[in-house]
Amino acid sequence: MTEQLSNHISVLQTRAGEISIEEMLEQLALSYPGQVCFSTSFSWEDQIITHYILSNNLPIKIFTLDTGRLFPETYSVWSRTIERYNATIDVYYPDNSLLQPFVTEKGPNSFYEAPENRIGCCHIRKVEPLRRALKGNSIWVTGLRAEHSPNRHDLQPFEWDEVNGLIKYHPIVRWSTEEVKSFIAKYNIPYNILHDRGFVSIGCQPCTRAIKQGEDFRAGRWWWEDSGKKECGLHVHGAGI
């Protein structure tokens, strides 16, 4: 990252603490016309940001990644969101030329068998489609929160994504879970009902379970693996986290 870029991100960090989320999103859309995008998985957090964007008619592209193995409840909130906001949400699917030979060779549930299989599956179903979705953009808005995992504890509102070559903006990075739930209720925003059943971080159906009382946010994702690193490769922070 160049010194000029570092200074620019510092300015954005300061600005984010001075104005509202709506104003920050609007400024980014004006400063980077046609180059600001938001990725949604229809989580609590992502539904809040979707509400900010669509309720204010902000010119920010919204997209999602359909891995082909999502929960029925996720497709339901997707449909309800389109209806509620009369919105268009772009969808990116896995490249069949990569997915078909992978599943043919390793089977449909090989991610349970070895970490490298799970990482390979995530790469094909999520990381590669994400790179296509981000192409040509300068700002990537996300719903990440510091509470999500220890790896995200020090996350700031803005950061440089070296892998994808753009600036990431996390509008609600410092929000608590109670703040998130209160906002959803206040504005009657459609949300994934799995959240009411103990599912905190919701991804692909075979790789997600509800968490138990006292477990951390990421305990329900890839629970059969070492709990030290619970990432799929979509979000890389700092030194390769």
- CATH code, 18: 3.40.50.620
Residue 225: predicted pLDDT: 86
Catalytic (active site) residue 121:
no
Which regions of the chain are under pLDDT 50?
A: 237-241
Number of domains in the chain: 1
* 203 Cβ contact partners less than 8 Å away, ≥ 6 residues apart: 41, 67, 221, 232
User: Is 79 within the bounds of a domain?
Assistant: yes
User: Is 90 within the bounds of a domain?
Assistant: yes
Residue 216 is part of which domain span?
A: 3-220
Pairing of strands 90-92, 158-161: unpaired
Whole-prediction pTM value?
Answer: 0.91
User: Is 228 within the bounds of a domain?
Assistant: no
The 10s digit of each residue's pLDDT in 129-171 is 999 999 999 999 999 998 876 666 789 999 999 999 999 999 9
Asked if 114 and 122 touch (Cβ cutoff 8 Å), the reply is no
CB atoms within 10 A of CB 176: 12
Residues 217 and 224: their CA atoms lie apart, in Å, by 15
Q: Which of 122, 204, 207, 232 is catalytic?
A: 232
User: Is 65 within the bounds of a domain?
Assistant: yes
User: Is 149 within the bounds of a domain?
Assistant: yes
User: Is 113 within the bounds of a domain?
Assistant: yes
Phi, psi of 225, deg, nearest 5 = -100, 170
Asked if 96 and 216 touch (Cβ cutoff 8 Å), the reply is no
User: Is 170 within the bounds of a domain?
Assistant: yes
Residue 153: predicted pLDDT: 72
Write the burial class of residue 117 (CB in 10 Å: 0-12 exposed, 13-18 middle, 19+ buried). Answer: middle
